[in-house]
Amino acid sequence: MERYGLLGQEWQTLQGNHEQHELNALLIKLGCLALSVAGLASGLSPAWIAFTILLCWMQEGIFKTYQARLSDRLLNVENLLKQPGSLEPPMQLHTDWSASRPGGAALIGGYIASACRPTVAFPYLPMLLMLGLGRWLAWL
């Protein structure tokens, strides 16, 4: 019975952290928007604003990669809770991740793949497109 209690505790902790990552992603988006508007209002070079947008976009991609790892473990814990005879121990988030950790280039590729998901790319891609369009229209 203790095993189920530990699995339940692990699930609750992971779920809370999963939701916190969602909040962090939203705060990154809002911070990026605020920085971009402040940059435009102060006459900052569009190149610097674009650089800031790209940094925020990649940072959110990293957060979403962390969140995906938590999600994988959450699903594993839920499956363990359904199987009363399973002997897999609870509290194995980092052990499981270390066993399947990709190398440096693959890890960075995972961050980029997370950043390219539509829910992450919005609003960064539209902001970059609007910035580019504004720059292009100013040249005409």
The CA distance from 49 to 15, in Å, is 34
Six-digit token string for 89: 């121990």
pLDDT in the model for residue 36: 96
pLDDT in the model for residue 104: 86
pLDDT along the chain (140 residues), means of 10: 84 97 97 97 95 98 95 94 85 87 88 95 96 82
pLDDT in the model for residue 1: 54
- The number of beta carbons lying within 10 Å of the beta carbon of residue 21 is 20
DSSP states along 65-128: HHHHHHHHHHHHHHHHHH-TT----S--HHHHHHHT---HHHHHHHHHHHHTSHHHHTTHHHHH
The CA distance from 31 to 51, in Å, is 14
